[in-house]
Structure 1
Amino acid sequence: MTAATAAGPDETNTGRSEVWRDLLRDHFVSLDVEVERDGGMFDGAVRSDFLGHLRVSGVRSVDQDIVRTPELLRRDHDRYLQVCLVRRGTAYAAQDGHEAMLRPGDFVVYETERPFQWTLRAEAGSPYWDLAVFTWPRDTICLSDSESAQLTCRTLDGGSGITAVLSRMLTDLLVEKPTVSEGGAIRIADEIGDLVATIATEAYGFGGAADRHANLLRRIDSYIAEHLGDPDLSPERVAQAHFVSTRQLQRMFAGRGQTVSQVVRRQRLERCRRDLLNRRGGEATLTEISVRWGFTDLSVFSRAFREVYGTSPTAYRARVRG
Structure 2
Amino acid sequence: MEFASSKTFTTSDVAQDEATDYWVELICETFVKLSAQQLTPKNFQGGITWKKLGHAEFSTVNASGQEVVRTKEFASSAIDEYLLFSIQRRGQGYVSQDGRTAKLSPGDMAIYDSSRPYSLHFPSSFEQLVVQLPKSKLGADDTRSITALLHPKGSAGAVAASLLSSLNEHLSYGNSSILALESHVIELLGEVTTSPSPRVHSPEPSHNEMAQIRALMRKNLANSAWTVDQLASQAHLSRRSLYRLFPNKGPAEVMRSMRIDKAKTTLRNDPSTLIIQLAHECGFDSESGFIRAFTSDVGVTPKQYASKFTPNGGQ
Distance in 2, matches of 1:149 and 1:180, equals 36
Shift of 1:52: 1.3
Which whole-Å deviations, capped at 9, do the CAs of 1:120-159 have from their partners, x for residues lacking one?
A: 133xxxxx310000001111113331xx1011001110x2
* Amino acid across the alignment from 1:134: V
CA distance in 1, matches of 2:50, 2:20: 19
What SS does the corresponding residue of 1:151 show, helix, strand or coil?
A: coil
Q: What is the root-mean-square deviation in Å for CA atoms of aligned residues?
A: 2.3
Match of 2:190 in 1: 194
Structure 2 equivalent of residue 225 of structure 1: none
Structure number with greater Rg is 2
Number of the residue aligned with 1:152: 147
Residue type at the aligned position of 1:165: V
Q: Is the counterpart of residue 13 in structure 1 residue 11 in structure 2?
A: yes
Post-superposition Cα deviations, 1:165-190, rounded to whole Å, max 9, x if no partner, equal 22211221222227345862442232
1:303-318, aligned counterparts within 5 Å? none
Paired with 1:2 and 1:175, the residues of 2 have a C-alpha distance of 18
1: distance between equivalents of 2:189 and 2:104?
Answer: 21
Structure 1 position 204, deviation (Å): 4.3
Give the secondary structure class of the aligned counterpart of 1:86.
strand
Match of 1:101 in 2: 103
Give the 3-state SS of the residue equivalent to 1:193 in structure 2: helix
Aligned twin of 1:51: 53
The Cα shift of 1:76 comes to 2.8
Q: Secondary structure at the match of 2:183?
A: helix
Equivalent positions of 1:50-89 (< 5 A) are: 50-89=52-91
> Retained in 2: the 8 A contact 1:142–1:197?
no
Contact 2:150 / 2:198 at 8 angstroms: preserved in 1? no
Tell me, in whole angstroms, the C-alpha distance in 2 between the residues paired with 1:140 and 1:2: 14
Deviations 1:255-278, CA, capped at 9 Å, x for gaps: xxxxxxxxxxxxxxxxxxxxxxxx
CA contact (8 A) 2:76 2:116 kept: no
For the 8 Å contact 1:2–1:182, the answer to whether it is kept is: no
Q: Distance in 2 between matches of 1:10 and 1:204?
A: 37
Select the residue among 114, 117, 122 that pairs with 2:116. Answer: 114
Give distance in 1, aligned partners of 2:113 and 2:194: 16
Asked whether the 8 Å contact 1:52–1:185 carries over to 2, the reply is: no
Give the direction of change, closer, same or farther, for the CA distance of 1:4–1:130 in structure 2 (3 Å limit): same
Which whole-Å deviations, capped at 9, do the CAs of 1:53-74 have from their partners, x for residues lacking one?
1001101100000000012224
Q: How does 1:1-322 map to 2 (within 5 A)?
A: 3-5=3-5, 9-14=7-12, 15=16, 16-37=19-40, 40-122=42-124, 128-145=125-142, 148-157=143-152, 159-177=153-171, 179-181=175-177, 184-199=180-195, 201-204=196-199
| 1:319 match | none
Contact persistence 1:80–1:111 (CA under 8 A): yes
- Give yes or no for contact 2:76–2:115 (8 Å, CA) kept in 1: no
Q: Give the Cα–Cα distance (whole angstroms) in 1 for the partners of residues 7 and 27 of structure 2.
A: 15
Q: In structure 2, what is the equivalent of residue 214 of structure 1?
A: none
CA distance in 2, matches of 1:188, 1:163: 15
Distance 2:7 2:179 in 1: 23
- TM-score computed with the length of structure 1 as normaliser: 0.55
User: Which deviations, in whole Å up to 9, do the C-alpha atoms of 1:206-245 show, x marking residues without a partner?
Assistant: xxxxxxxxxxxxxxxxxxxxxxxxxxxxxxxxxxxxxxxx
Q: CA deviation at 1:75?
A: 4.4
8 Å CA contact retained: 2:109, 2:158: no
What is the rounded CA distance, in whole Å, between the counterparts of 1:162 and 1:29 in structure 2? 27
The alignment partner of 1:4 has SS state of strand
Distance in 1 between the 2:27 and 2:78 partners?
13
- Residue 187 of structure 1: SS of its match in structure 2? helix
Aligned length: 193
Give the unaligned 5+ runs of structure 2: 201-315
Q: Secondary structure at the match of 1:156?
A: coil
C-alpha contact 1:52 1:189 (8 A) present in aligned 2: no
Instruction: Name the counterpart of 1:267.
Output: none
Q: CA deviation at 1:47?
A: 1.3
Change (3 A) 1:95 1:202: closer
